[in-house]
């Protein structure tokens, strides 16, 4: 049986979406009705061009949208589990972050971009 190329690429895309996602940064947006946790993964991409070696950063996004009640429940569960982790493995130390790396919740209107 032959399959069209676009069918295969859709299948691979779906498999990629179902994989676990490692996030190295995130941002949080909210409005009165929902929280958007935008998890990001940055990967360097090295290529060549007419100018020579070119390094770019490829960013993948996995937004998670939840209502405020679930966001509050998530906070409680996360706090309890971080405490358990630290009791078992030691305190998680956070280095002083540069201003552009800080994770802050922003009071935002309805997001115009998700994903």
Number of domains the chain is built from:
1
Residue 12 lies in a domain: no
Q: Are 21 and 38 in contact (CB under 8 A)?
A: no
Residue 7 lies in a domain: no
| Distance, CA of 88 to CA of 56 (rounded, Å) | 39
When pLDDT is averaged across residues 16-29 and rounded to a whole number, the result is 85
Residue 2 lies in a domain: no
Q: Is the pLDDT of residue 19 over 90?
A: no
| Distance, CA of 46 to CA of 50 (rounded, Å) | 14
Counting every residue written for the chain, the total comes to 115
Residue 66 lies in a domain: yes
Comparing 5 with 73, which gets the higher pLDDT?
73
Q: Return the number of other C-beta atoms located less than 10 Å from residue 62's C-beta.
A: 14
Q: Is the pLDDT of residue 2 over 50?
A: no
Q: Are 68 and 35 in contact (CB under 8 A)?
A: yes
Q: Is the pLDDT of residue 105 over 60?
A: no
Q: What's the pTM value of the predicted model, to 2 decimals?
A: 0.61
Residue 13 lies in a domain: no
Q: Which domain holds residue 71?
A: 21-91+101-107
Residue 83 lies in a domain: yes
Comparing 33 with 111, which gets the higher pLDDT?
33
Q: What is the pLDDT of residues 42-99, one digit of tens each?
A: 888 887 777 777 878 888 889 999 999 999 999 999 999 999 999 999 999 988 755 5
Q: Is the pLDDT of residue 17 over 80?
A: no
Residue 52 lies in a domain: yes
Reported as type and span, the H/E element at residue 89 is helix 68-89
Q: What is the pLDDT of residues 24-52, one digit of tens each?
A: 999 999 999 999 999 999 888 887 777 77
């Amino acid at each position: 049986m032959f399959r069209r190329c676009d069918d295969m690429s859709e299948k691979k895309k779906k498999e990629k979406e179902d994989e676990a996602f490692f996030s190295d940064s995130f941002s949080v947006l909210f409005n009165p009705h929902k929280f958007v946790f935008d998890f990001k993964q940055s990967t360097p991409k090295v290529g060549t061009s007419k100018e020579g070696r070119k390094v770019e950063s490829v960013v993948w996004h996995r937004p998670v949208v939840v209502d405020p009640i679930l966001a509050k429940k998530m906070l409680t569960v996360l706090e309890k589990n971080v405490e358990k982790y630290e009791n078992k493995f030691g305190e998680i130390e956070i280095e002083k972050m540069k201003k552009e790396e800080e994770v802050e919740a922003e009071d935002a209107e309805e997001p115009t971009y998700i994903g």
